[in-house]
Chain A
Amino acid sequence: MPEAVRDGDYAIETRDLSVYYGDFQAIKGIDLAVRRRQITALIGPSGCGKSTVLRALNRMNDLIPGARVEGQVVFHGQNVYAPGVDPVEVRRRIGMVFQKPNPFPKSIYENVAWGVRINGYRGNMDELVEQSLRQAALWDEVHDKLQESALALSGGQQQRLCIARVIAVKPEIILMDEPCSALDPIATLKIEDLMRELAQDYTFIIVTHNMQQAARVSDHTAFFMIDQDRAGTLVEYGPTAQLFTTPRDKRTEDYITGRFG
């Protein structure tokens, strides 16, 4: 059932969202409204449900047997879990970049063109590939070897290629699940710079274990923890600078200062 989004400034919003894997409740009653064209970081200890929340936003959890969703994910006024919503279309408009760069074993060019092609793109593919690679700050490094294998690129370049691949299909939201955990510090900073640049046009939601990264790159931060039932809950959500200097909740303070045992 379509519902009006409360406020036009939000790109996506979860309402009382719970996800179960079989009998196990992974996240419980999450209300999270993500601001448009900003970077929102999801942080918390392992098993706190932050990746589950991320994957629920574009129905990636559908692919896990036994996964079940309650509540709503409201995108453009519509619950993405409503009957009749095409999950493939949801994932086109809400793209995802994963922890480990995962280019296809094909050319750099084909990696960018692939997603667009299966979506039936009829425009100028060369232009789109160049534009996407430029936006991903990779063009200068690869423009003379577009037909070479993507697997020959460095880890950081591969991750930017994955971002170019997502950008090519013109999504509105880009989900990132630990996108820098396999990268060195310089490649990490390049990705972060790129995110800041692209946040003028896209909404980013990033899951990261690296609190300094969340602090550096995001506008808003959401802190998750498991409750007494071992289900992930949203503890605190606020502007990043405020959350990292003056968290309101003692549990947030304990976690970000490293006193969480």
Chain B
Amino acid sequence: MLRQKFDEELQRLQDEVLVLGSKVEKALVQSVEQLTQQDLAASRRLIAGDRLINERRYTLEAETIALITTQQPMAGDMRLLAAILEILTEMERIGDYAKGIARINLSIGDRPLIKPIVDLPVMADKAGAMLRKALDAFIHRDVALARAIPRQDDEIDALYNRVFRELLAHIIANAGSLEQATYLLWAAHNLERTADRVINICERVVYTVTGEMQELDVDDADIESLG
């Protein structure tokens, strides 16, 4: 078997991508849980933990580049490594969104919430599930799955629109809720953006397998119109 060492390295990198992905997914879901429970100590820990996600991303990026320079990958191998570089970036950004939500929790502090937080955990769960499936598609080179995942973004977009309108109604009814409503809107926006990042990952899966660079995010106009 030729290139056994190289194949082992490729496999290890993909495993590491999965591990980092599960950390990021966990951080995302936890950040919203902490917000609903106003658990400030946990949010502080999550913010500190994001540094580890970033460090891991840079390490894996350096290892990927080292593999490219030393092994001169071609064709499918090169597409895989190029995809890994992109996927690492997207996952680190998702980690940053989780950190952003944790910061929002700290900003709201222990003041009472203007409304019970119901839709944000659903958005976080859905976005987390999308990420998990996207990485599943990546590992199994499942193009059909990668193309199907972006459709779930519509549900997240719909939830975002609902949260947006509810918070707007709160602000109109009670100007005092402006600051917290804005914070919560940021959190919702981070979750909506997470789903978009996952779609980028799906695009990289399609690229890895087929070599086609293709936009999968077709229906983002509703969000754009909301600014």
Contacts and interface: CB of A to CB of B under 8 A. Distances in A.
Interface in B1-29: 1-3, 6
Interface in B22-81: 72-79
A257 B211 contact: no
B74 A261 contact: no
B1 A261 contact: yes
A258 interface: yes
Contacts, number: 37
B75 A246 contact: yes
B1 A257 contact: no
A256 interface: yes
Measured as residues with beta carbon below 8 angstroms from the partner, the interface class of chain A is 10 to 19
B79 A257 contact: no
B78 A245 contact: yes
Interface in A183-241: 211-212, 215
A257 B71 CA distance: 10
A31 interface: no
A206 B52 CA distance: 50
Interface string A48-91: 00000000000000000000000000000000000000000000
B2 A212 contact: no
Contacts of A245: 74-75, 78-79, 211
Nearest to B207: A246
Contact of B75 (A212, A257, A261): A257
A172 interface: no
A259 interface: yes
The listed residue with most A CB atoms (<10 A of its CB), out of B72, B76, B79, is B76
A244 B211 CA distance: 11
A223 to B, nearest CB: 11
A252 B74 CA distance: 10
Interface of B: 1-3, 6, 72-79, 210-211
9 contacts: A211-B74, A244-B74, A245-B78, A246-B75, A246-B210, A253-B75, A253-B76, A256-B74, A259-B2
Given A246-B211, A257-B74, 5 more contacts: A245-B74, A245-B211, A252-B75, A253-B75, A259-B2
